[in-house]
């Protein structure tokens, strides 16, 4: 039987990918960001997931604007790094797990989550930056990936509570897959940031740290955060944090926090990262 063993949350700031690709990780500005992921990279080498269900958003790279799926799941064999304007990142192609993905898609749709099925997709910084942060510079990614894509770029995104319940449904789907697989769920994006408008550059350490606290102390409270709360407190792109709730909903009530990291700033963004072990 497939098992969800752990959850990971991390920001996906594109400048982090550029810093890696341009050899800047030891520079004074970037060193503290990458230092915050060293323990997690060591942990991942031991944890050895067979599959990561990687919850992320596409930034109008492969999807969106013309077609806006609220929730989508990748059922492809593989996913190429996308060209986001400077050529594709020189990172490995992401290997999918079409059998597990098709099983999860069927289970979710029967469970009343009407997923869009993606049989082809190039993946942008929303996926490649978290993979780089957790696995480092490698020739092949050491896990297969089932992408779960959430609309957080075009109004109206799903509610945080709906995301939580999708996480619970993903856990039911994984538990009914017959093959023995070590599965992690990753929630990506955030934390507070706003990239445009009068409040561009907004960062809210208090909101972010309360959110990090409550992933362990009071996760139910996170389900009640509304779109307006995210917009007001965490900036227009802070809404990406709803993707962390899919991860947290999938892990069940009891978790052990193995690692927590918070750093300001990376580009214009507050970077947050946690590793949670499932009970
Ligand atoms: C930036 C873009 C993002 O998608 C994000 O989540 C954080 C920062 C940026 O362009 O700086
Ligand atoms: Fe983003």
**Which among 43, 167, 46 is positioned nearest to 104, based on CA atoms?**
167
**What pLDDT is attached to residue 134?**
98
Residue 133 CA to ligand 2 centre (angstroms): 15
Residue 246, C-beta contacts closer than 8 angstroms, at least 6 positions apart:
55, 148, 150, 163, 164, 166, 167, 170, 185, 187
Ligand 1: residues with CB < 6 A are 12-15, 59, 189, 193, 195, 237, 240, 267-269
**What pLDDT is attached to residue 186?**
99
Length of the chain: 279
Q: Where are the alpha helices (DSSP H) in the chain?
A: 14-21, 31-35, 38-47, 98-110, 125-135, 160-175, 205-216, 219-222, 227-234, 242-251
Q: In this structure, how many other beta carbons lie within 10 angstroms of the beta carbon of residue 27?
A: 11
**Residue spans of the chain under pLDDT 70:** none
Q: Hey, which residues are catalytic here?
A: 125, 193
| Domains identified in the chain, total number | 1
CA distance linking residue 50 with residue 91, whole number of Å:
19
**What pLDDT is attached to residue 53?**
99
Considering only the C-alpha atoms of the chain, give the largest distance between any 2 of them, rounded to a whole number of Å: 51
Residue located via tokens 């697989």: 181
Q: What is the pLDDT of residues 146-186, one digit of tens each?
A: 999 999 999 999 999 999 999 999 999 999 999 999 999 99
DSSP 193-223: ---SSTTTT---HHHHHHHHHHHHS-HHHHT
Ligand 1 pocket, mutate which of 10, 11, 14, 239 (most atoms under 8 A from CB):
14
Whether ipTM tops 0.85, in short, is: yes
**What pLDDT is attached to residue 159?**
98
CATH code of residue 183: 3.40.830.10
**What pLDDT is attached to residue 123?**
98
**What pLDDT is attached to residue 279?**
87
Q: What is the pTM of this model?
A: 0.98
**What pLDDT is attached to residue 65?**
83
What is the domain extent for residue 209?
3-278
**What pLDDT is attached to residue 115?**
98
Measure Cα distances from 220 to 163, 225, 243, 250, 267 in Å. Answer: 12, 10, 15, 13, 31
């Amino acid at each position: 039987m497939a098992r969800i063993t752990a959850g990971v949350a991390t920001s996906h700031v594109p400048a982090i990918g550029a810093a890696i690709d341009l050899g800047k990780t030891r520079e004074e500005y970037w060193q503290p960001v990458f230092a915050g992921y060293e323990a997690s990279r060591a942990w991942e080498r031991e944890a050895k997931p067979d599959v990561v269900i990687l919850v992320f958003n596409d930034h109008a790279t492969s999807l969106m604007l013309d077609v806006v799926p609220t929730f989508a799941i990748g059922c492809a064999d593989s996913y190429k790094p996308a060209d986001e304007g400077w050529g594709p990142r020189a990172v490995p192609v992401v290997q999918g797990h079409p059998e597990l993905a098709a099983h999860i898609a069927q289970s979710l749709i029967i469970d009343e989550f009407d997923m869009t099925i993606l049989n082809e997709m190039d993946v942008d910084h929303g996926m490649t930056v978290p993979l780089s942060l957790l696995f480092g510079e490698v020739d092949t990614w050491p896990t297969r990936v089932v992408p779960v894509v959430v609309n957080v770029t075009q109004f109206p995104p799903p509610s945080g509570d709906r995301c939580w319940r999708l996480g619970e449904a993903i856990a039911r789907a994984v538990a009914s897959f017959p093959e023995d697989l070590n599965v992690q769920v990753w929630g990506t994006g955030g934390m507070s940031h706003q990239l445009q408008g009068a409040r561009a550059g907004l960062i809210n350490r208090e909101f972010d740290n309360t959110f990090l606290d409550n992933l362990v102390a009071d996760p139910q409270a996170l389900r009640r955060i509304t779109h307006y709360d995210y917009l007001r407190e965490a900036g227009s792109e802070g809404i990406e944090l709803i993707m962390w709730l899919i991860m947290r909903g999938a892990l069940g009530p009891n978790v052990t926090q193995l690692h927590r990291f918070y750093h300001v700033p990376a580009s214009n963004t507050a970077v947050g990262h946690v590793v949670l072990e499932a009970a």
